Amino acid sequence: MRIAIASDHAAVDLKAELREYLIGLGHEVADLGPETADRVDYPDYGYKLAGVVAEGIADYGVALCGSGIGISIAVNRNAACRCALVSEPLSASLAREHNDANVIAMGARLTGVDMAKACLDAFLATDFGGGRHAGRVEKLSNPTV
């Protein structure tokens, strides 16, 4: 899979860990930055990640900041993205199965490396369930449906 990953300064270390983990699993990973822990604004990286996913350059995105909240809000400003803030594998799996989430968000100050890896595993291993969920998901990107 093609996966884009981005963070703010608070999550740059978690981003590096997850980037290497995903590469080790055989995924093609685009690291959208930042490269250092110098202060940056999470919306800039959230918008950048959303654009890459919306354009189909990446199949999925991983958005990280201190809490995961701010960057998930930024990503969700793009109607083509369905970013789910998760903290454990069940929410990651349900985000894919029920909501067809194409971006997963986590907070580096709240989620440890091992739990973040478990969330990624669940997210990437789960397919969208379709069926009764399909119409609801369509309304997320097109509220006039």
User: Active-site residues: which are they?
Assistant: 65, 98
Report the alpha-carbon distance of residue 134 to residue 73 in Å, rounded: 22
Annotated binding residue 109: yes
Annotated binding residue 8: yes
Which contiguous run of DSSP H or E holds residue 75? helix 69-75
Quote the tokens at residue 95: 């985000």
Annotated binding residue 141: no
Annotated binding residue 136: yes
Task: Find the farthest-apart pair of alpha carbons in the chain and give their distance in angstroms, rounded.
Answer: 45
Annotated binding residue 66: yes
Binding-site residues from annotation for D-ribulose 5-phosphate: 8-9, 66-70, 99, 109, 132, 136
Binding-site residues from annotation: 8-9, 66-70, 99, 109, 132, 136
